[in-house]
């Protein structure tokens, strides 16, 4: 192939918040940017998280030259163990030092040891036909980067997650100069973060959170418990700084937050004054006015430290009058109910609870409209592909692209699995590759059928039929006994189940010899008869499980 086309394929992240994973392919050689997960919603009972369908990468595993991770958030790194398991543990993974530190810890849980290669902003890496440059951006996690990809077709710029923060906690500004140079030198395609494309103006600086913390710490008389994302090292740094100024000690509580803080401390991204970080048993011996506990669980996760504290199930931390609890994070859509329950529990136990809706204890890590327009004007791409957002976010971002002068036909709103192809004739959508979502339960995936069964059990309940039958004669020697769960009140069940039992007996009284000899046919007859009876009686469709013992 003398003059192949460049193919850009989002496997996730263009129809949802999460699952971020984008494939770049030229002449059969592939690089991948990010491999993220998404947390489940209420329609995914028993699912721990969701990752992209990596079928296309599995089928082309031998052509993958490297995986580039833009930053350490789970929606960009959480699918990496599953991608490596499906392709090859030998594929090199590139990221900044803190990102690599977080990834290494995650992969250890899955017994994976791929080549992990730390890089720094402005550093360049050659992977097959791609020259890749890492560019500093500001975000809610330390050490985030955008990516410049030089290909034989032209320069591709991927912003990663970013905002324009003029006063970042670590003093590391977004690299305006490099993004502007990309624009000066000619950018073929821009892929840009769309999360806050609906939101006008500019996103507040991370340092604005410090003002809220200062106010709260000045008035709090008891213990202060703060829940935040385990990866938000900047937020932890600000908590440490304000705690030190107010004469308080800090304890980090929760495996993930302790692990990330330890990595950041070791790499120099987190500064901790001597004797400030204490073990939980040490800090609980101090007077209440000297205590700050930083923990996980800001999204209402059932088994998190904050959830156990709120329901009085934590073995060491018990809420009491005078405690102040701060939820220093955004409520991710879909988590509002579980977060609300935790807030209510904490108030009932006497805590003063402060959260995003009542105080500026959180700011977004994503660019709002004016920052997005600034990035578009800096990079000045010929083609534009909004990423990292639900469909409406991509549409709003495309409107901004038009406002800065990008022609409508040069803006591409993609679906997961769609192929954007660029060749000498320009850019166009051209076909699809296998894509979708894989549901993870524990450390393995579950089939759609299993998830459908869980939904049915959750929504409509289950009816179990148990009986024993003589194989030769078809005579019922025991049963049918019926057990129902989750679809009819106990006080109403007796009469209803008597009717269901009558349906089964009528079916058994008219069985043909071939049905008596085939248990699967018998079960199907029972299911069919009960399904009609139940729907007619109460308009419900429970899962029906006939259990027939042959004797």
Burial-class residue 499 by CB neighbours within 10 Å (0-12, 13-18, 19+): exposed
d(CA 232, CA 329): 10
Tokens for 339? 């977060």
Strand segments (E) across 197-336: 224-227, 249-253, 291-295, 324-327
**Torsions phi, psi of 309, nearest 5?**
-65, -45
Comparing CA positions, the residue from 21, 64, 63, 29 lying closest to residue 436 is: 21
Which of 34, 75, 161, 193 is labelled catalytic?
Answer: 193
State how far the alpha carbon of 274 is from the alpha carbons of 170, 210, 250, 278, 447, in Å. Answer: 19, 21, 11, 10, 50
Active site residue 366: yes
111 is catalytic: no
**What is the longest distance spanned by two Cα atoms in the chain?**
87
β-pairing, 352-354 vs 324-327, is parallel
H or E element in which residue 379 lies: helix 369-379
Tokens describing residue 518 = 């085939």
User: In this structure, what DSSP letter does residue 508 have?
Assistant: H
What's the CA gap between 60 and 53, in Å, rounded? Answer: 13
Angle among Cα 215, 219, 225 to the nearest 5 degrees reads 85
Among the options 73, 76, 366, 393, which is catalytic? 366
Tell me the angle at which helices 233-245 and 208-219 cross, rounded to the nearest 10 degrees.
40
Q: List b or e across 480-489, with b for residues whose CB sees 16 or more CB atoms inside 10 angstroms.
A: bebebeebbe
- Cis-peptide into 464, omega within 30 deg: no
Contact 66, 102 (CB under 8 A): no
Beta bridge partners of 9: 23
| Burial label, 4 (beta-carbon count in 10 A; 0-12, 13-18, 19+) | middle
Tokens linked to 305: 């430290």
The per-residue DSSP string of 123-191 comes to -EEEETTEEEEEEE-B-SSTT-EEEEEEETTEEEEE--S-B--SS-TTS----HHHHHHHHHH-EEEEE
* β-pair partners for 475: none
Edge-first strand order for the sheet with 462-469 is 476-485, 462-469, 543-550
Report the distance separating Cα 311 and Cα 324, nearest Å: 16
- The total number of residues shown for the chain amounts to 551
Give one DSSP letter per residue of 506-542, joined into a string: HHHTT--HHHHT-HHHHHHHHHHHHHHHHHHHHS---
Active site residues: 193, 366
């Amino acid at each position: 192939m003398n003059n192949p086309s460049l193919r850009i394929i989002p496997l996730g992240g263009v129809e949802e918040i999460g699952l971020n994973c984008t494939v770049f392919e030229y002449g059969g050689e592939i690089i991948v940017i990010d491999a993220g997960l998404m947390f489940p919603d209420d329609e995914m009972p028993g699912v721990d998280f969701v990752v992209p369908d990596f079928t296309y990468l599995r089928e082309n595993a031998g052509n993958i030259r490297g995986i580039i991770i833009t930053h350490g958030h789970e929606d960009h790194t959480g699918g990496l163990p599953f991608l490596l398991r499906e392709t090859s543990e030998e594929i090199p993974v590139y990221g900044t030092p803190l990102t690599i530190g977080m990834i290494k810890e995650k992969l250890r849980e899955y017994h994976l040891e791929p080549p992990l290669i730390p890089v720094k902003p402005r550093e360049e890496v050659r992977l097959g036909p791609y020259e890749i440059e890492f560019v500093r951006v500001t975000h809610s996690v330390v050490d985030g980067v955008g990516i410049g990809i030089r290909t034989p077709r032209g320069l591709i710029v991927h912003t990663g997650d970013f905002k324009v923060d003029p006063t970042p906690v670590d003093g590391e500004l977004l690299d305006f100069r490099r993004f502007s140079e990309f624009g000066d030198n000619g950018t073929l395609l821009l892929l840009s973060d769309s999360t806050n494309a609906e939101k006008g103006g500019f996103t507040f600086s991370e340092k604005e959170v410090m003002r809220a913390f200062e106010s709260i710490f000045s008035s709090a008389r008891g213990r202060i418990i703060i829940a935040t994302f385990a990866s938000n090292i900047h937020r932890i740094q600000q908590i440490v700084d304000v705690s030190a100024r107010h004469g308080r000690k800090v304890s980090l509580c929760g495996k993930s937050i302790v692990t990330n803080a330890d990595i950041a401390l070791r790499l120099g991204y987190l500064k901790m004054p001597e004797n400030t970080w204490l073990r939980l048993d040490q800090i609980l011996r101090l007077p209440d006015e000297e205590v700050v506990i930083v923990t996980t669980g800001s999204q209402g996760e059932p088994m998190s430290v904050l959830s156990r504290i709120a329901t009085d199930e934590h073995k060491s931390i018990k809420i009491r009058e005078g405690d102040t609890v701060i939820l220093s994070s955004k409520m991710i859509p879909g988590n509002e109910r579980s977060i609300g329950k935790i807030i209510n529990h904490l108030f009932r136990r006497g805590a003063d609870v402060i959260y995003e809706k009542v105080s500026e204890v959180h700011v977004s890590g994503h660019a709002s409209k004016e920052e997005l327009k600034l990035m578009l004007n800096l990079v000045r791409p010929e083609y534009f592909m909004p990423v990292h957002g639900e469909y409406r976010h991509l549409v709003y971002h495309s409107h901004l692209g038009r406002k800065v002068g990008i022609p409508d036909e040069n803006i591409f709103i993609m679906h997961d699995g769609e192929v954007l192809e660029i060749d000498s004739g320009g850019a166009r959508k051209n076909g699809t590759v296998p894509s979708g979502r894989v549901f993870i339960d524990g450390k393995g995936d579950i089939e759609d059928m299993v998830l459908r069964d869980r939904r049915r059990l959750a929504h409509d309940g289950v009816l179990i039929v148990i009986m024993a039958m003589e194989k030769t004669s078809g005579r019922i020697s025991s049963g049918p006994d019926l057990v129902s769960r989750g679809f009819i009140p106990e006080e109403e069940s007796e009469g209803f189940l008597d009717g269901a039992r009558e349906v089964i007996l009528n079916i058994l009284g008219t069985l043909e010899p071939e049905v008596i000899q085939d248990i699967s046919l018998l079960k199907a007859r029972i299911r069919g008869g009960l399904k009609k009876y139940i729907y007619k009686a109460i308009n419900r469709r429970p899962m029906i499980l006939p259990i027939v013992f042959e004797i």
